[in-house]
Amino acid sequence: MTRLASRAIAPPSRLRVGLFGGSFNPPHQGHRHASLVALRRLELDAVWWLVTPGNPLKNQRELAPLEQRLKASVDLENHPRIHVTTLESSLGTRFTADTLKAIAGRFPAINFVWIMGADNLATIHKWRAWRQIFQTMPIVAVARPGYTLKALSSPAARAFAASRIDPDDAALLPFMHAPAWTYLDDRLDPASSTAIRARGLWPVGGV
């Protein structure tokens, strides 16, 4: 990990946007918490939630309809700088690597950062073209309960160890060339979509 910003580009007056993708099945306070951490620590102008039509790595039978997940996300975010989108559906992409590449191409005047929880950093090496994700845009991983050790010792963290920057330099991340990433410890939020579904608090068939 380095505290040097030698790979940073000159900060232009460009919009800084965090992209936070997922099934949001259901959305919960953990999603909102990670977004607020990224907004504050990276000094972002906005965070876009990318509500995916379907995650190839997850059981589609447990996936609520997109309209249901979209409405619940809009109801939850309640923040002027968090915007819920269905960009992945409009782009026609299925995998994160393809989605990020398409978004970066469609909005070349925006500095994007990919936001993910530590649980995803721990398993991203199982994703399709995961190295391409690290090469497409800077990444911030936000701590999740029980995942710090798994995340920071994961194959992805080891593969891109030289590209990790100190969290004290997190505000520079939107201006850095990929690969560049950081890990943010903050107040931990224990909310989990899996746990919510297990308790029967998310009616998959519709609301």
Pinpoint the alpha helices (H) of the chain. Answer: 29-41, 66-77, 87-91, 96-106, 118-123, 130-136, 148-152, 155-159, 193-198
Q: Report residue 62's pLDDT band, with 50, 70 and 90 as the boundaries.
A: confident
For residue 78, the tally of other CB atoms under 10 A from its CB is: 8
Share of residues in the chain with pLDDT > 70 (%): 81
- Euclidean distance between the first and the last CA atom of the chain, given in angstroms as a whole number: 46
| Non-local CB neighbours of 39 within 8 Å, separated by 6+ positions | 18, 46, 47, 81, 82
**Tokens 């309960």 sit on residue:** 145
pLDDT-wise least confident of 4-18, 20-34, 56-70, 163-177: 4-18
Q: What is the mean pLDDT of residues 26-52?
A: 94
Q: What letter represents residue 52's amino acid?
A: T
What pTM did the predictor assign?
Answer: 0.87
- Report how far residue 31's alpha carbon sits from residue 83's, in angstroms, rounded to the nearest whole number: 12
Which structure tokens are listed for 47? 């965070």
Predicted confidence (pLDDT) at residue 188 exceeds the cutoff of 70: no
Q: Which of 99, 113, 102, 83 is nearest to 15 (CA)?
A: 113
Amino acid at 11: P
Is residue 14 very low, low, confident or very high in pLDDT (cuts 50, 70, 90)? confident
Average pLDDT over residues 15-42: 94
- Judge whether 24 and 34 are in contact, CB under 8 Å: no
pLDDT in tens, 117-156: 999 999 999 999 999 999 999 999 999 888 999 999 999 9
Cα separation, 178 vs 83, whole angstroms: 24
Question: Is 194 strand, coil or helix?
Answer: helix
- Tell me what pLDDT residue 5 has: 47
DSSP label at residue 165: B
pLDDT value at 206 more than 50: no
Q: Which CATH class is domain 16-198?
A: alpha beta
Buried b (16+ CB within 10 A) or exposed e, 6-30: ebbeeeeeeebbbbbbbbbbbbbeb
Boundaries of every domain in the chain: 16-198
